[in-house]
Amino acid sequence: MRRPIVGLAALAITASACVSDSTGSSIEGITVADGFGLEEAVVGLDGPTQFAVLDDGRLLVAEIGGDENDEAGRITLVDAAEPGGSPQDGSSGTILVDNLDKPTGVAVFDERLWVMERNTLSAGDFAATTDPVELTAVASDLPFNGRSEGTLTPTPDGDALLFNTSGRIRDGDVVEGSGELRAINTANEETVIATGLKHGYAHVFDASGQLWVTEVSDGDFDGEPATDELVAVTPGDNLGWPMCVGDNRPVAERGGTAESCAAVPPSLATFGPRATPTSVVVAPWDDDTLLVALWVTNEVVAVDKQTPGATPIPIVSGASRPQHLVVSGDQVLISEYETGRILVLAAVS
């Protein structure tokens, strides 16, 4: 079984695919909660990770392209399915960039196409055409966990792009610069937003401007796995890793104490060890609901941001490695890493 590639951000614009008025899932093996509908929009992709919706409704998709270490990744432009039509064949899309090393993030920011590969952030001029894009490394040899960094998220004001450096310990010490949430501006200047993240894989701003980040704990601490989590982050926060993990659990072997971990921002929700939350968005039908993709448990769950500690509620169950979520109008698009599909979820009255 291929493990998840953790990374990618979204532009919330309008796509042409839509869900019919009927409730339930039209896809074998996948169930949805009452009051929701789920249909296919795109098929034929190869390991889709992060994707975005352009103004004209086309999808900008990062694909791993085989095994995650094949360096056969690409960025593809794909037409979305017309309402009521057959799913678009993503394999017939236009390749803008290829031969990428594990692309886990893609975004459009500052009129440039940005791509996060294994541990390199690159950008190139982008005019939303079908012309190939030439990428130039903006940040290379970023500290990382040996596998990947996370997704890319433009800030609401359009002044910066968020990315993370996944946490790594080498020879008993935290690698300098790892475990950070960073922002890069239009002048390619980097700022550290928060520290102490094992893997702050995905990020979203709600309507109030609050930043929410998923944390993939990825490993054992004091001999036990830590829960993955969703947490509100304010600039300057230290999320505690590796002294504190999960919902402020002290790690004695790293010097964590109950007192020091009590000062760490608490979890809004936890998802259990190795659930691997790879994406988070604000539900288009309720500003107080956050939707989270859980790669390992094959779910998309709802979290009430007004109720800290509440149990996440499954909205989609049985998806094949849901990787990334994008809000498009009143719908949510879901990439399935394992099947190469993009699904459309909507609340149906």
Q: Is the pLDDT of residue 62 over 90?
A: yes
Is the separation of the CB atoms in 271 and 277 below 8 Å?
A: yes
Is the separation of the CB atoms in 132 and 111 below 8 Å?
A: no
In a domain? residue 303? yes
Total tally of structural domains belonging to the chain? 1
Question: How confident is the model over 137-166, as pLDDT tens digits?
Answer: 999 999 999 999 999 999 999 999 999 999
- Identify the burial level of 155 via C-beta atoms within 10 angstroms of its C-beta, where 0-12 means exposed, 13-18 middle and 19 or more buried: middle
Is the separation of the CB atoms in 184 and 161 below 8 Å?
A: yes
N- to C-terminal Cα separation, the chain = 38
Question: How confident is the model over 120-130, as pLDDT tens digits?
Answer: 999 999 998 89
What's the chain's average pLDDT? 92
Q: Is the pLDDT of residue 57 over 60?
A: yes
In a domain? residue 333? yes
In a domain? residue 284? yes
Q: Is the pLDDT of residue 9 over 60?
A: no
The pLDDT of residue 282 is 98
The amino acid at 224: E
Question: How confident is the model over 218-270, as pLDDT tens digits?
Answer: 889 999 999 999 999 999 999 999 999 999 999 999 999 999 999 999 999 99
In a domain? residue 8? no
Domain that holds residue 65: 24-347
Nearest to 319 by CA among 302, 304, 341, 303: 341
The amino acid at 278: T
Question: How confident is the model over 13-34, as pLDDT tens digits?
Answer: 334 445 656 678 889 999 999 9
In angstroms, the Cα distances linking 212 to 105, 200, 289 are 17, 10, 12
134: its two tokens: 């030439």
DSSP letter string, 112-170: EEEEE-SS-EEEEE--SSSS----EEEE-S----SS-----EE-TTSSEEEEEE---EE
In a domain? residue 3? no
For residues 51 and 199, what is the distance between their CA atoms, to the nearest angstrom? 19
Model confidence pTM above 0.85: yes
In a domain? residue 240? yes
In a domain? residue 11? no
The pLDDT of residue 160 is 98
In a domain? residue 178? yes
Identify the CATH number of the domain in which residue 239 sits.
2.120.10.30
Integer-rounded Cα Rg, in Å, for the chain is: 19
> Where is 56: in which H helix or E strand?
none
Q: Is the pLDDT of residue 90 over 90?
A: yes
